Structure 1
Amino acid sequence: MDEAGELLKRKGLRSTSQRRAVLAALRGFPHSTAAEIEARIAAAGESAGRMSRQGLYNVLDDLTGVQLIRCIEPAGSPTRYELRVGDNHHHLACRGCGAIEDVDCVVGTAPCLDPAEDKGFAIDEAEITWWGLCAECRRKEADVRQP
């Protein structure tokens, strides 16, 4: 059995062609949108490529629920999915081109930040997104400003 099939079974999910196709479509492409995943599956020409849009979202929900993939929702951007789970990392997001990069937490352990007041919550995670311009967008912006 392949690696994806083993992962699915260990998490208590059936190893379906659709689930394996989604995992394969995310391999090497972190922070993918559902549309990007769908396009990669279709381009691969697998039988899973005939999966409906709702079927894709069901698979994404299943994989997120068992923590095989992580879902991030940067403001003003479509929901994105990645295979990097189970660690305490955050994200950099470019306001110009929308690029997203992983950033390891300097503290190393969750929740990484403590709120001024916990209001009775037992806090176990902090999700952080830093916004700015990536190096390429900064370079382009500087080129535009030059006479």
Structure 2
Amino acid sequence: MGFDGEAQLRAVALRVTRVRVAVLAAVREHPHVSTGRVISLVRADHPTVSHQAVYDVLRALTGAGLVRRIEPAGAAARYESRVGDNHHHVVCRSCGAIADVDCAAGHAPCLTASGGHGFVVDEAEVVYWGRCPDCIDRSANSEGSR
């Protein structure tokens, strides 16, 4: 089944606009995309769209649960369309690449907090840090050429 941004917007009672559909498509087609990249992607087809309009749409889509905002420590906010499954992320310390990692325990919220202080936990956010295969290969190649 293909992408139907209009139906997704209607399903969460958001008014359908060309900018909302374009932003939703950009996030869907480019997982873990930055706000700046979303602006560039949207402006490729809609050059008069303002930065503020894209920020407003991202906020509305996030609030409606159509996109998820992630903020790895020390990195700019990123957006993805994979929502509702409480998955996690792995981030490369060298280049900043981000990839999805399925839930550690198989069901949300994935982790049981020890001593939850009376909170009812419904979501867990885990970020794994390391180096991606490309950065490892580059490092190995640069060491081998010495």
TM-score (ref. length: structure 1): 0.92
Corresponding residue for residue 100 of structure 1: 98
Looking at structure 2, the residues matched to 91 and 103 of structure 1 have their Cα atoms a distance apart, in angstroms, of 5
Shift of 1:145: 2.3
* Structure 2 letter corresponding to 1:61: R
Corresponding residue for residue 9 of structure 1: 10
* Aligned ranges 1:68-79 → 2 under 5 Å: 68-79=66-77
TM-score (ref. length: structure 2): 0.92
Looking at structure 2, the residues matched to 87 and 37 of structure 1 have their Cα atoms a distance apart, in angstroms, of 23
Of 32, 50, 53 in structure 1, the residue corresponding to residue 51 of structure 2 is: 53
Corresponding residue for residue 134 of structure 2: 136
Where 2:29 maps in the other structure, the secondary structure is coil
Where 2:116 maps in the other structure, the secondary structure is coil
Corresponding residue for residue 40 of structure 2: 39
Where 2:72 maps in the other structure, the secondary structure is coil
Shift of 1:25: 1.2
Q: Structure 1 regions of 5+ residues with no counterpart?
A: none
Tell me how many residue pairs correspond in the alignment: 143
* Aligned ranges 1:10-29 → 2 under 5 Å: 10-29=11-30
* Aligned ranges 1:108-123 → 2 under 5 Å: 108-123=106-121
Overall identity of the aligned pairs, in %: 46
Deviation per residue, 1:6-51 (Å, 9 max, x gap): 11111010001110010111222100001001111112x23xx322
Looking at structure 2, the residues matched to 88 and 5 of structure 1 have their Cα atoms a distance apart, in angstroms, of 24
Q: Structure 2 regions of 5+ residues with no counterpart?
A: none
Looking at structure 2, the residues matched to 20 and 109 of structure 1 have their Cα atoms a distance apart, in angstroms, of 31
* Structure 2 letter corresponding to 1:19: R
